[in-house]
Copies of this chain bind each other. A is one copy, B any other.
Amino acid sequence: MDLLAEKFRKLGTDNAPGQEVRQRLGQDTPALKGETLAGRPVDFSHGDVDAFVPIPGSFDVFSEGVARGGAQAYTEYRGSLEIREELAGRLAAFTGAPVAGDEDLIITSGTQGALFLAAASTITRGTKVAIVQPDYFANRKLVEFFEGELVPIPMDYLNARDGAGIDLDVLKAAFRQGAKVFLFSNPNNPAGVVYSQQEIGAVARLAAQYGVTVIVDQLYSRLLYDGESYTHLRALETGEGGLITIMGPSKTESMSGYRLGVAFGSPEIIGRMEKLQAIVALRAAGYNQAVLRCWFAEPEGWMAQRIREHQAIRDDLLAALRQVDGLQVRTPQAGSYVFPQLPALSLTGLAFVRALRVQANVIVTPGTEFSPHADASIRFNFSQDHAAAVQAVQRTVEMIARYRA
């Protein structure tokens, strides 16, 4: 069991978003300074679906699914063909490249499910996998779970003038030295930056040149702020290695409680993902699949308003954070994450996160979940009640002052 013990040791979730409830106060708890700060608790580890509610009509569509009975409960492992066909057209229009509903698309248990299946279908022991730092914490864990070899790709998002700031020279060197898979999120989670057309073009060319399989998590690509533009990798030529794009309605559309995602792209990889899904969970919950009917079919103006509201929160949070001397933060171009780098503190980033929770009723995700080099950063998911979010960030600012080195 040693191999397994080691594998599961690496799979720690103690500091993962939403798992704070399992933390025991103990030796990791920092020596606290000062009094508790009063205010409405805000859990920035995930979006608040009570503040931003699911797509109008989604529950009705679910109810219709239940009423359909067996036909909706039991679908192919890759999901209902009828729904896949509907989605394929919409996703093709959104991403600018064709999607065949029958062969190119699978419905999964959330985008996490899609990431797991895509990783399992392309990574085995010894597979070199290029992973951006920082990036979504599960990417690293997936590589470790499948015993791949992680090849870190730095992203200087704080100083990049244009785009995400990925180091394309390091990416090229990684591919040349045998990386077979490149797994990344765009917009980047946690930094909220969007890869430029030039960066995505370079990723496509390098993937084609070296036959690399690319898995791109585009979960937040619809929540794009004023003046920003987005380049879909799948609209470019990426070569023989194959490309899987992952999206889902859990974030911008607030449907996380239904656990739905999709992966689309190279049919060989999608085929593997289906075979695996059969033993992982059989299928995404049949009734829930029905809810995808209202995705990319939202009422006129609904998405525009959602973007506007998030942009307003973003701007207020940035204004508050930028008053902190020595704090660095990049303006998120898309999505609902902001990832400031704090000034030097008298305690570790992890300890500060715990103090923040205990003393200020503010839950954030520590930067080390996203990169070993991000101990000084914390991630906020600002898809929250606007006023509560602003007040919670003000408390955070006060806590930074309190624990400044």
Contact = CB atoms under 8 A, between A and B. Distances in A.
A69 B49 contact: yes
B59 A11 contact: no
Contacts of A282: 110, 112, 259
B70 A279 contact: no
A147 to B, nearest CB: 9
Contact of A109 (B77, B121, B125, B281): B281
A3 to B, nearest CB: 5
B76 A279 contact: no
Contacts of A279: 11, 112, 115-116, 138, 141-142, 145
Contacts of A142: 279
A1 B95 CA distance: 28
Given A13-B278, A142-B279, A257 B49 contact: no
A259 B286 contact: yes
A173 B278 CA distance: 32
Contact of A257 (B16, B21, B48, B285): B285
A66 B73 contact: no
A74 B59 contact: no
Interface string A239-262: 000000000000000001111000
Nearest to A16: B278
A272 B8 contact: yes
Interface in A1-59: 1, 3-4, 7-8, 11-13, 16, 18-19, 21-22, 46, 48-50, 53, 59
B285 A8 contact: no
Contacts of A77: 13, 16, 18-19
Interface in A103-124: 108-110, 112-113, 115-116, 121-122, 124
Main secondary structure, interface of A, reads: helix
A185 to B, nearest CB: 15
Contact of A48 (B65, B70, B141): B70
A283 interface: yes
A221 interface: no
B121 A280 contact: no
B110 A76 contact: no
A323 B303 CA distance: 64
Given A59-B66, A76-B22, A259 B285 contact: yes
A21 B74 CA distance: 12
Nearest to A111: B282
A399 B256 CA distance: 48
Contact of A50 (B18, B70, B276, B278): B70
A293 interface: no
A113 B280 CA distance: 5
A72 interface: yes
Given A1-B180, A13-B278, A18-B75, 8 more contacts: A11-B279, A19-B76, A22-B76, A110-B281, A115-B279, A138-B278, A257-B286, A257-B287
Interface of A: 1, 3-4, 7-8, 11-13, 16, 18-19, 21-22, 46, 48-50, 53, 59, 62-63, 65-66, 69-70, 72-77, 81, 108-110, 112-113, 115-116, 121-122, 124-125, 138, 141-142, 145, 180, 256-259, 272, 274-276, 278-288
